[in-house]
């Protein structure tokens, strides 16, 4: 069984980091990508528009009860947690902040780990707190594959370092090599 989804968590410096990864992925990339990027609760749709213009995949804010499908990147909307249900449908929540954040990376990662188990790839990128480390640990416990941006290539290294400290990471990869690593992993099912 191959990979069925990718989850990415980012914070400080994440907009540019996401662009660098997503711009190398082909239009027919065969798995959905779900992203929790720490953003202001009052943010407009700028991040989705920016990334959609920068890559071949379709990037947009996730909507309640839609099915995550290949060729799409789903962003957590401002002030909502993004979750994946066991049937692969998306759920949004306004429950309490986790690690001071809504959307929380941990919330996305933990729900996706339960939904996809070993067919999930989880990625922690640049950020200035520890959000994502517990979720990446859960992905590892469910036998999914874990990737962390090399802290030396991160605008803010706290989040990658926390993730590395929390679990046994499969790949610690420079930012500019993560997109190509994803292509290789997906093609080598």
Measured distance CA(182)–CA(188) in Å, rounded: 10
- The question of whether 38 is a catalytic residue gets the answer yes
State the catalytic residue, choosing from 11, 111, 130, 133. Answer: 11
Measured in whole angstroms, the distance separating CA 135 from the mean position of its chain's CA atoms is 11
Measured distance CA(148)–CA(63) in Å, rounded: 27
Radius of gyration of the chain (CA): 14
State the catalytic residue, choosing from 104, 131, 133, 140. Answer: 131
Measured distance CA(127)–CA(148) in Å, rounded: 11
Would you tell me how many other CB atoms lie within 10 Å of the CB of residue 157?
19
State the catalytic residue, choosing from 38, 81, 99, 106. Answer: 38
Nearest to 137 by CA among 157, 118, 101, 113: 113
- 133-141 and 105-116 are packed helices; what angle lies between their axes, rounded to 10 degrees? 10
Place of tokens 């980091």: 17
Cβ-count burial 89-99 (b if 16+ within 10 Å, e if not): ebebbeeeebb
- The question of whether 171 is a catalytic residue gets the answer no
Which residues are tagged catalytic? Answer: 11, 38, 131
């Amino acid at each position: 069984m191959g990979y069925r989804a990718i989850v990415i968590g980012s914070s400080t410096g994440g907009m540019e980091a996401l662009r660098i990864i997503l711009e190398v992925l082909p239009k027919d990339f065969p798995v959905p990508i779900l992203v929790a990027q720490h953003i202001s609760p009052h943010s407009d749709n700028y991040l989705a528009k920016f990334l959609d213009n920068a890559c071949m995949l379709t990037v947009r804010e996730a909507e309640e009860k839609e099915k995550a499908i290949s060729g799409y990147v789903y962003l957590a909307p401002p002030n909502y947690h993004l979750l994946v249900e066991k049937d692969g449908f998306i759920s949004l929540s306004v429950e309490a902040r986790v690690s001071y954040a809504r959307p929380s990376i941990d919330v996305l990662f933990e729900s996706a780990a339960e939904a996809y188990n070993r067919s999930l790839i989880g990625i922690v990128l640049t950020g200035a707190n520890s959000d994502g480390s517990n979720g990446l640990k859960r992905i590892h416990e469910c036998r999914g594959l874990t990737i962390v941006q090399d802290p030396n290539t991160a605008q803010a290294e706290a989040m990658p370092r926390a993730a590395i400290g929390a679990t046994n990471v499969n790949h610690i990869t420079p930012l500019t090599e993560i997109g190509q690593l994803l292509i290789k992993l997906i093609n080598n099912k």
